[in-house]
Structure 1
Amino acid sequence: MVRGWAVVGGAIFIIGQQTLDGGPDEGGVVGLLTSPYWWTVPLGLIVIGLAGFGFAALAWRMTTYAVGDETVHLRRGVVFKQQRHARLDRLQAVDVRQPLVARLFGLSELKLEVAGGSDSGIAIGYLRDADASELRNELLARAAGLRNTPPAVAGSSRVAAEQGSGGPEEVPARVDGPPVGAPEAPEQPVLEVPPARLIASLLRTSVTIFFALFIAGLIVTVIVTGTPQVVFAVIAPFIGIGGYLFNRFSTEFAFRVAISADGIRLRHGLLETRAQTIPPGRVQAVSLTQGLLWRGPDWWRVQVNVAGYGGDGDAGTTNVLLPVGTRDEALTVLSLVLPDLGIDDPRAVLDAGLAGDSRTPGPFTGSPPNAVWVDPIGWRRQGFAVTGRALLLRSGRLYRILAVVPHERTQSLGIAAGPLQRRLGLASFEVHSTPGPVSPGVHHLAAADAAELLEEQAARARTARAHAGPERWMEGPR
């Protein structure tokens, strides 16, 4: 029912669009609706609905999953068979997703994000809400290294048990089988974003201002020209901008942050709800950003790069750690990702990174004065600071950005210099992270400073990875 309705909805949308675009004297759908054969339209919808629901039912029958100590397996496909495997020690995040129609039936989709390419995740859906929560707890427990949990399979399966070579028996279960999961780890609430603040933050964005100016200009045009038909000519951008704002509000509504032994837990959503769990140490990079209109209330937005989220179709929502919050709340969320910066006074350093520039006392190394020729507005904001645990990169005069990269999460490093930069003795430094909204980098440093940072950061990254904890975070170091 959850998957099949989309086929019927798509058919109704196409018929409705053709009906509105056509006229009573035209052929096609409009002609059928005004002819003695009008009954063929609802009959066609019934046939399309039966086909859609029938294929969805068949796809459900062909979907099975199994959970072992090391791997999660998923088999699906009607015409083309597909078998997916996800290693639990590479688990990056676990999401419980509930679209609006699934919520009406009490169902959820469980999605596992693993380190890999753009389509490396595994989506198991749809499960009953309680079963999805139990299976999530079971997978997180196994990913953490708690091997004494029972297999997450229960109930009779229509597929015979398969004995892996030298491994434990894994029984594929249909997606409606109730898993025997580990108990949910207790969580401690951290903060919640009030709806009034979320609405106010959306009103204080350049998109909303442009939208208001667009509407005002449209009204003036209609009044001056006396042709209301011009509204239909610009309906597409009107819907696009309005849809973007509503999508931001809908996906970030009731945003809550909590912490548990499993990792960082995020819950949010108005029409479609999502419960995310990001295990410890899986965040590759963090950015704290502030637009010009957010400076009055000192609001900040926190986003992260998590391996596996970058290729998501809704990566813009899954990579958000805090949609809007005060400076204290943003730094609190940052402390969940990186509890210890490895310095005595982390607040002073972070404040300098958030709102300071080259005139602010602190550990940041900034751009030289001749960088004004290539960046006359933001050159004073460019800078970097190194702590015992992370590299901090600040930039942006009008749109402030502070990027934080744990040393052990450094993927690779690079230096770039254009012709004018080379002539001025400048270079831009980049930290290459996993795909996501955070692009750590600092521009127009002195070439010698950039070269020294490249060499020293590479050494720090090697040392940090050598002393990093195990991938299964509940296991002690071996």
Structure 2
Amino acid sequence: MSDGLPVPAPGGATAPSSLAWQRVHPVTPLVKGWLVLVVVVLGLLRSTAEQGDGDGARFALHHLAWVLLGIAAIVVVAGTYSWLAWRVTAYAIDPDAVHMRSGILFKQHRKARLDRIQAIEVRQPLAARIFGLAEVKVEVAGGDGSGVSIGYLTERTAQELRADLLARAAGLGAPSSGGKQAVAAPADGTDAKHAPDAVTSAAGPGPAPTLHATEAPEQPLFEVPSGRLVASTFLTVEAWVLVLVVAGAVVAAAAARTPAVLFSFVPVLIGLGSALFGRFNRSFAFRAATSPDGIRLRHGLTETRAQTIPPGRVQAVELVQPFLWRRFGWWRVHVNVAGYGREANAKGPTTVLLPVGSRAEATTALWLVLPDLGTADPLALLGEALDGSGPSDAFTAAPRRSRWLDPVGWRRNGYAVTARAVLARSGRVRRRLVVVPHERTQSLGLEQGPLQRRLGLASFVLHSTPGSVHPEVPHLDARDARVLLDEQSVRAREARSQDLSERWLQPPGARA
């Protein structure tokens, strides 16, 4: 395909011809595929060694030339394919969307609308950090795979691109004078005239000028100390199970009088150890700040992440306190963000607003999502939501007969409604509070099993976007649950009609 031609998109669609496509960094294929190349080479060496007649090392040395020739062939083929893949991989930005094209045999064109952006993340895996590169990941409100990943770019270019996209999503980006649209700078540092598919606009041929968006200033809010993170990691169920497994392995080996028994525990030890290290690794150096373009989160040890969640994109927030954290007053804060649902199950920190922190830090994280809780005394309401139990002026609690279904935590189950949100609390051993803004209510439902039906109970469920937060008030009186369902549907409809968060920096008169 020659430069300057429109790119075929899936389904027979065609990319706009006015787009100024910019290539990613030339080292991108190496950063993405180095691990696969290493595995193939090691597999070849191992296969060659295993073919020896009882002496793999001598056989490998004897056939060293063939081994090196095979490795060279693999490198040439992989290098050629990577170069071709890099040639056809490019991105572009117009006033309404960000585009990404890729693919040699099976061409792909992705488009993410700016007004549907839920979060923008700058990722730096370990290999990318070695080369000073980063990936810009744009999450939008859509199904699985609806986001756009642009990578890899130089770290400076990635930061500028994030600022550019956030400015456009906020309603500040606009076509420049002369009929040319503003686009991001080339990722590989080359002159824009060398980029594929150069723009031909009303003002004449040539690429569109760059929009140099200045990153908005930020105000740091909190940072998680490494000592607290380590302590909280060991005060988890996984850590105690790991200790018990190690103790059991030692006792079993002593009873059998052979260390061979220890090998049977290796898979369990690796699994639990990986889970604990993964939690520490992903939450290391966690920092949060606020800025006009949204909530900024930075974290990670081997892979650093810099997330920006624009205002109004959080669908639900959850404050959790495991039993072992209660003595220290620590809480963890999760959120649901549209577009992060699938990844949230695999890489939890994409939905963590605070991995571990004090109550003051947890409430600060909540204020980031919902600055106005819609009540005259929000601190008193939150105190009752986090520590209280039973009915009160603010909370409607589960009836006493629900103890047959939840004998431990039934007194904590309940809800409160303010002018801005629904608060659902539950759990006595593991305290939990979920807050859902009215305008973020996706749908509502009542669940009633046979035992609940016999006891006159029902569980109220607020359906949110996929993620780690599951808003629910279990075992309410059936009449209270029905009233809440009817009233909340009205509140959610009215709140959505007044929601203006899509272009949050745009003047109100321009949002029509």
| TM-score, reference length from structure 1 | 0.92
Matched, 1:229 2:229: no
Alpha-carbon separation, structure 1, partners of 2:174 and 2:348: 37
Match of 1:275 among 282, 294, 306: 306
Superposition pairs for residues 250-269 of structure 1, below 5 Å? 250-269=281-300
Alpha-carbon separation, structure 1, partners of 2:384 and 2:438: 20
Q: CA deviation at 1:462?
A: 0.6
Matching residue of 1:468: 499
Does the 8 A contact of 1:433 with 1:440 survive in 2? yes
What's the CA shift string for 1:447-474, capped at 9, x where partnerless? 0000000000000001111111141111
Matching residue of 2:35: 6
Matched, 1:161 2:188: no
Q: CA deviation at 1:407?
A: 0.2
Does the 8 A contact of 1:315 with 1:436 survive in 2? no
Q: Flag structure 2 segments of 5+ consecutive residues without an equivalent.
A: 1-29, 177-181, 186-191
Distance 1:17 1:351, change over 3 A: farther
Alpha-carbon separation, structure 1, partners of 2:236 and 2:348: 16
What's the CA shift string for 1:6-33, capped at 9, x where partnerless? 222322564688799x798669xx5885
Alpha-carbon separation, structure 1, partners of 2:165 and 2:33: 29
Matched position secondary structure for 1:2: helix
Q: CA deviation at 1:55?
A: 2.5
Does the 8 A contact of 1:4 with 1:53 survive in 2? no
Q: CA deviation at 1:58?
A: 2.1
Matched, 1:74 2:100: yes
Distance 1:399 1:36, change over 3 A: same
Match of 1:306 among 309, 332, 337: 337
Q: CA deviation at 1:226?
A: 2.0
Matched position secondary structure for 1:202: helix
Alpha-carbon separation, structure 2, partners of 1:353 and 1:312: 29
Does the 8 A contact of 1:425 with 1:447 survive in 2? yes
Does the 8 A contact of 1:112 with 1:122 survive in 2? yes
Does the 8 A contact of 2:193 with 2:206 survive in 1? no
Matched position secondary structure for 2:32: coil
Distance 1:300 1:45, change over 3 A: farther
Matched, 1:36 2:62: yes
Matched position secondary structure for 2:436: strand
- % of aligned pairs identical? 52
What's the CA shift string for 1:263-297, capped at 9, x where partnerless? 00000111110100000000000000011100000
Alpha-carbon separation, structure 2, partners of 1:200 and 1:169: 61
Matching residue of 1:195: 226
Alpha-carbon separation, structure 2, partners of 1:362 and 1:323: 32
Distance 1:45 1:317, change over 3 A: farther
Matched, 1:328 2:360: yes
Matching residue of 1:48: 74
What's the CA shift string for 1:217-247, capped at 9, x where partnerless? 1111112112222232332221111111111
How many pairs are equivalent? 468
Does the 8 A contact of 1:7 with 1:52 survive in 2? no
Superposition pairs for residues 403-418 of structure 1, below 5 Å? 403-418=434-449
Matching residue of 1:348: 380
Alpha-carbon separation, structure 1, partners of 2:503 and 2:124: 28
Distance 1:42 1:362, change over 3 A: farther
Moved more, 53-62 or 467-476: 53-62
Alpha-carbon separation, structure 1, partners of 2:453 and 2:98: 51
Q: CA deviation at 1:129?
A: 0.6
Q: CA deviation at 1:41?
A: 4.1
Superposition pairs for residues 33-182 of structure 1, below 5 Å? 36-148=62-174, 151-154=182-185, 155-161=192-198, 180-182=211-213
Q: CA deviation at 1:375?
A: 1.1
Does the 8 A contact of 2:95 with 2:174 survive in 1? no
Does the 8 A contact of 1:3 with 1:56 survive in 2? no
Does the 8 A contact of 2:311 with 2:501 survive in 1? no
Does the 8 A contact of 1:349 with 1:362 survive in 2? no
Matched position secondary structure for 1:280: coil
Alpha-carbon separation, structure 1, partners of 2:491 and 2:76: 61
Alpha-carbon separation, structure 1, partners of 2:175 and 2:359: 41
Match of 1:358 among 381, 384, 390: 390
Does the 8 A contact of 1:5 with 1:53 survive in 2? no
Moved more, 180-189 or 200-209: 180-189
Alpha-carbon separation, structure 2, partners of 1:19 and 1:203: 44
Matching residue of 2:419: 388
What's the CA shift string for 1:90-114, capped at 9, x where partnerless? 0100000001111111100000000
Matched position secondary structure for 1:4: helix
Matched position secondary structure for 2:412: coil
Does the 8 A contact of 2:52 with 2:58 survive in 1? no
Alpha-carbon separation, structure 2, partners of 1:294 and 1:316: 19
Q: CA deviation at 1:434?
A: 0.3
Alpha-carbon separation, structure 2, partners of 1:32 and 1:80: 44
Letter in 2 for 1:347: L
Matching residue of 1:175: none
Alpha-carbon separation, structure 2, partners of 1:13 and 1:297: 48
Does the 8 A contact of 2:45 with 2:67 survive in 1? no
Alpha-carbon separation, structure 1, partners of 2:54 and 2:211: 60
What's the CA shift string for 1:191-231, capped at 9, x where partnerless? 10000000000010010000111111111111211222223
What's the CA shift string for 1:402-431, capped at 9, x where partnerless? 000000000000001001100100000000
Does the 8 A contact of 1:7 with 1:48 survive in 2? no
